[in-house]
Structure 1
Amino acid sequence: MTPQLELPAPTAPEAARVTLLYHFCRLQLPAVVVAESAFRTHLDRTFRIYAPKAGGPVTWAGYLDGLYALDWLVCVGCLAGQTPAWELLFAARTGRTDCLLVDALRARACRLYPRDEEKQDSAVTEFWSQLIVPEGERGTPVLARYDGQRPLAPWLIRVFQNWHLSKLRAQSGVSALPDDDIAMPIPPVSNADTRWHESFCAAARDWLGAVSESERLILGLRWRYRMSQRDVAHLLGVHEGTISRQTDKLRDKSLEIIGHRLVADGWTGDDLEGFILTEMGGLLVDEPSLSADQLGRMLAARGKKLPV
């Protein structure tokens, strides 16, 4: 059995700093209610997670210097099952304008599992469940591994990516990656693949720029929120057949316009339609004009809002 690492107790100035940090967090996020005793217990727990990875002598002052306090508090609130903390996590941004955490996870899933919508959806859904429930009997929930030394949303994206890369590599007999270390890059593509990806993005964005607002709304609801045609029709107050026809029209038009553009650029490969549909998922999820905020504004202009 591995002996528990002995760590220094906080000095008097460090203990006073912890008290100030507690009250700062209370003022900044009053909806996330954590008793001071629980606050200190969690801080000690995450300090112990941080210490072995520090690569040298550790101090409370050094740990507190690098602590993303509000992200840390959101994590603690989620572990405690507090609804306001989960709402803050769902609304977390990843540093890019209008890019929610869940959108970034879906974009990664699209790249990891191209042309497999079922796997993309299940990958994101399973990850959310494992934030507070471990994968195995002896496992640790994802949020319980967070040490607070990195922004929470980007860290979760790294864990998600490494977890699935580990699964993919294990299937081919390659050793798994550490699940919470710096993210390894998604397997590189060839120069030819990069060229066609860039050509596709340019053509697809030109096509998106020409579609109407109502068509963009349908695309966003279907791709970003994975709503069925029936659910979209019910939300917008139209017949399901109308949504079906508009969806088919959008699909056919995108294949026609983007396909012609790629052929004009010199495409000579097989399965052009398959390539376009594979690339389309990631682009639509990452497209600013289909962001959660933009879709919300389009719905509000119609007197609608997304169901909870």
Structure 2
Amino acid sequence: MMNGPRAELLYYFCRLQLPAVNLPRERCQFHLERTFGLYQHKVETPITYEGYLDHLYPLDWFLASACLEGNRPAWEHLFASRAGRSDCLLMDALRARAARLYPRDDERQDTAVADFWGHLCISETPGSLPVMARFDGQRPLVPWLIRVFQNWHISQLRKHPQAQALPDDDLAMPMPTGQEIDTRWREVFADAARDWLNGIDDEEVLLLGLRIRYRLSQREVAQLLKVHEGTISRRTDQLREECLERLSRELTQAGWSGDDLSELVRTEMISLLLDAPRLSVDGLAQILAKKGKMITAAG
């Protein structure tokens, strides 16, 4: 089942995009079966192989698989990866995060980053999976690595009563504040948000992209699309309400008992939207092109 045309296409696509990362085809097949099984155990509703591939981030998955194989070019590519909106190197993003987790403690900051790299392919405790082996390919790799790094150290800090409150920042990933929300709920929220985004139409994607990626005001969006500003306001409100209703319903069905979703929305939603392929610059440009319009620069 997993060595059909789509698996073959996946392999050659990844090899074409990352020619220096020479992961043998049989190892690619092994990791495809491994990550599919990994994701199957995470979701309550069984997912088909086709459904898994539909939402796979192929290059992120391929890179993580090659890193697990000890592929040097894959590691070099990972070291050179950029961290989301900040566009800084992954290593620099981790160092900046460590500086906020352990202020005025250079030695602990260096140790935190070094230990994290050490556990990417070597398990921390006997019987546990190394960090990279827990990546299922259903989300962007670099933001996920930053989130794993952040969540592990925050959980360690919160075990100690003397741990100080962590400051907010806007580097690569938002820092959590207020009540602690464990990794499982962040992942459930992320999956629900991606499902919602995949289900909306191009008009709604364009509205989100113009407001969030290009940071246009409602008036500017209305002028670009040649509609009344009130129309954009109503569409925005409706989209927001539908999104929150969908997220609330899916988290409640999964057992969520939090008071509201405000903390998750505040800390997770923007980065999820900006990482979504449909809201990429190229994706939005295609929608605009169908309307005979274009926009010159993203915010």
TM-score by length of 2: 0.53
Residue 50 of structure 1: CA displacement? 0.8
Cα distance in 2 between the residues matched to 1:134 and 1:38 = 20
Helix, strand or coil at the partner of 1:84: helix
- Residues 114-172 of structure 1, C-alpha deviation per residue, up to 9 Å, x if partnerless? 11111111101110111011111222110011001111100000000111011112334
- Residues 252-272 of structure 1, C-alpha deviation per residue, up to 9 Å, x if partnerless? xxxxxxxxxxxxxxxxxxxxx
Residue 101 of structure 1: CA displacement? 0.6
Residue 186 (1) aligns with residue 176 (2)? yes
Residue 140 (1) aligns with residue 132 (2)? no
Residue 95 of structure 1: CA displacement? 1.5
Letter in 2 for 1:156: L
Residue 186 of structure 1: CA displacement? 3.2
Gapped regions of structure 2 (runs ≥ 5): 164-172, 180-299
Residue 23 (1) aligns with residue 23 (2)? no
Cα distance in 2 between the residues matched to 1:173 and 1:144 = 33
Cα distance in 2 between the residues matched to 1:37 and 1:114 = 46
Q: Given the alignment, which residue of 107, 114, 119 partners 1:125?
A: 114
Letter in 2 for 1:27: L
Residue 53 of structure 1: CA displacement? 2.1
Any conservation in 2 of the 1:162–1:184 contact (CA below 8 Å)?
no
Indicate the structure (1 or 2) with the bigger Cα radius of gyration: 1
Cα distance in 2 between the residues matched to 1:95 and 1:185 = 14
**Structure 2 match to 1:94:** 83
- Residues 13-34 of structure 1, C-alpha deviation per residue, up to 9 Å, x if partnerless? x821111111111111111112
Alignment of 1:178-257 (within 5 A): 185-188=175-178
Cα distance change, pair 15–173 in 1 and its aligned pair in 2 (3 A): farther
Residue 187 of structure 1: CA displacement? 3.4
**Structure 2 match to 1:154:** 143
CA RMSD of aligned residues (A): 2.3
Cα distance in 1 between the residues matched to 2:87 and 2:15 = 27
Residue 66 of structure 1: CA displacement? 1.0
Letter in 2 for 1:138: G
Cα distance in 1 between the residues matched to 2:87 and 2:161 = 36
Letter in 2 for 1:36: R
Residue 52 of structure 1: CA displacement? 2.2
Gapped regions of structure 1 (runs ≥ 5): 1-8, 175-182, 190-308
Residue 84 of structure 1: CA displacement? 0.4
- Residues 177-231 of structure 1, C-alpha deviation per residue, up to 9 Å, x if partnerless? xxxxxx9943359xxxxxxxxxxxxxxxxxxxxxxxxxxxxxxxxxxxxxxxxxx
**Structure 1 match to 2:294:** none
| Number of aligned residue pairs | 170
**Structure 2 match to 1:192:** none
Identity %: 55
Letter in 2 for 1:45: R
**Structure 1 match to 2:49:** 60
**Structure 2 match to 1:203:** none
Cα distance in 2 between the residues matched to 1:42 and 1:138 = 19
Residue 49 (1) aligns with residue 38 (2)? yes
Any conservation in 2 of the 1:42–1:76 contact (CA below 8 Å)?
yes
Cα distance change, pair 134–172 in 1 and its aligned pair in 2 (3 A): farther
Any conservation in 1 of the 2:23–2:71 contact (CA below 8 Å)?
no
Cα distance change, pair 115–173 in 1 and its aligned pair in 2 (3 A): closer
Letter in 2 for 1:122: T
Residue 72 (1) aligns with residue 56 (2)? no
Cα distance in 2 between the residues matched to 1:42 and 1:173 = 42
